[in-house]
Structure 1
């Protein structure tokens, strides 16, 4: 049993994380950042939940770059093969659920 106060979490570096759970190879991690990530494709599916702040999520569909603004409470689901990158607007906290060891 554990309670995590997500809005109070701050990592020492951009995209630093606190491991919440590993359920049969599916990890749940709380991330803090104020810097963009990198373009990537996960090894599997990814659920990206904005807990605090705003994130511009850029993604490529059929070679075309798209973007969407994610606000607190919004969820982005990256299916297998979805190339994407998160650009926070200031400090953000996000919950990421993905396969263990994924990029």
Structure 2
């Protein structure tokens, strides 16, 4: 049993994470960042939940770049093959649920 106060979580580097759970190869991790990630495609599906802050999520649909502003409480679902990159606006805390070992 553990209680995690996401609003106070920080990491020593951008996209540093706290591993919360691994359930049959699906990981749940809390990330802290103040820097953009990199364009990538996950090995499987990804659920990306903004717990604190704002994140500009860029993604490609049919090869066309799109974007959406994700605010606290918003969820981005990346299906298999969705190329995407997250750019936080200042500090952000993000819960990511994905296949173990995914980018």
Q: Does TM-score exceed 0.5, indicating one fold?
A: yes
Unaligned runs of 5+ in 2: none
**TM-score normalised per structure 1:** 1.00
Alpha-carbon distance, 1:28 to partner: 0.2
Unaligned runs of 5+ in 1: none
C-alpha separation between the residues in 2 aligned to 1:87 and 1:19? 21
- How many pairs does the alignment contain? 103
> Is 1:38 the counterpart of 2:14 in the alignment?
no
Alpha-carbon distance, 1:83 to partner: 0.1
Matched residue, 1:72: 72
Matched residue, 1:51: 51
Determine helix, strand or coil for the equivalent of 2:7: helix
C-alpha separation between the residues in 1 aligned to 2:21 and 2:8? 18
Moved over 2 A (4+): none
Alpha-carbon distance, 1:90 to partner: 0.1
Matched residue, 1:7: 7
**TM-score normalised per structure 2:** 1.00
